[in-house]
């Protein structure tokens, strides 16, 4: 049986539609990026893996990995954390003035910006988290109160 001359045209139309659909799907897929979700305060005596935390550090009781905004336990260190200073668990806690603090600041902070509470942990490990800058929510909006310098040390602002 011989096909009429119009038949090859019918074969090309579905292929053209399929090609157009493929390009549209790729454009949508390439244009969307996953939202980065940072972890909040690391568990007590914990050290983050991605910032070089290891059990060789005597202040680390365990190693954690930040996955989708949740700390996942990776390893328990065999030696209990050693005294790194004064305070609970051998840890010096950063104290930041919360005068004028309120809630409801918009827009929400984006990684590596974090709320002030994330800075109020052991000074030896606070800059090993996903956070680089710390903010206090005030009636005038977000106010910078601390940051991690290039040496990985927490610096509080006046």
Who contacts 24 (Cβ-Cβ below 8 Å, separation ≥6)? none
For residue range 22-64, what is the model confidence (pLDDT) as tens digits?
Answer: 444 444 444 444 444 567 777 877 888 776 677 877 777 888 8
Tell me the whole-structure pTM to 2 decimals. 0.47
29 token code pair: 């897929």
* CA atoms within a 13 Å half-sphere pointing along the CA-CB vector of 26: 6
20 pLDDT more than 80: no
Q: What is the pLDDT of residue 30?
A: 47
Selection from 143, 140, 90 nearest residue 116 by Cα = 143
Q: What is the pLDDT of residue 80?
A: 53
* CA atoms within a 13 Å half-sphere pointing along the CA-CB vector of 94: 25
Q: What is the pLDDT of residue 147?
A: 94
pLDDT band per the 50, 70, 90 thresholds, residue 142: very high
Selection from 150, 118, 112 nearest residue 132 by Cα = 112
The dihedral through the CA atoms of 115, 119, 120, 126 has a sign that is positive
* Residue 128 or 12, more confident: 128
For residue range 79-133, what is the model confidence (pLDDT) as tens digits?
Answer: 654 444 445 556 778 888 888 999 999 999 998 999 998 888 888 888 888 899 9
Question: 10 Å Cβ neighbour count for 44?
Answer: 14
Q: What is the pLDDT of residue 95?
A: 83
């Amino acid at each position: 049986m011989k096909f009429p001359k119009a038949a090859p045209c019918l074969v090309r139309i579905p292929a053209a539609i399929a090609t157009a659909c493929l390009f549209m799907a790729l454009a949508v897929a390439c244009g969307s990026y996953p939202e980065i979700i940072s972890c909040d305060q690391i568990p007590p005596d914990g050290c983050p893996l991605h910032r070089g935390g290891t059990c060789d550090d005597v202040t680390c009781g365990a190693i954690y990995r930040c996955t989708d905004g949740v700390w996942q336990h990776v390893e328990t260190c065999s030696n209990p954390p050693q005294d790194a200073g004064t305070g609970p668990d051998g840890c010096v806690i950063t104290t930041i003035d919360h005068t004028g603090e309120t809630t409801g600041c918009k827009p929400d902070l984006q990684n590596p910006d974090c709320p002030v509470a994330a800075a109020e942990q052991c000074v030896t490990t606070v800059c090993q988290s996903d956070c680089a800058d710390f903010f206090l929510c005030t009636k005038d909006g977000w106010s910078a109160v601390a940051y991690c310098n290039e040496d990985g040390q927490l610096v509080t602002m006046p």
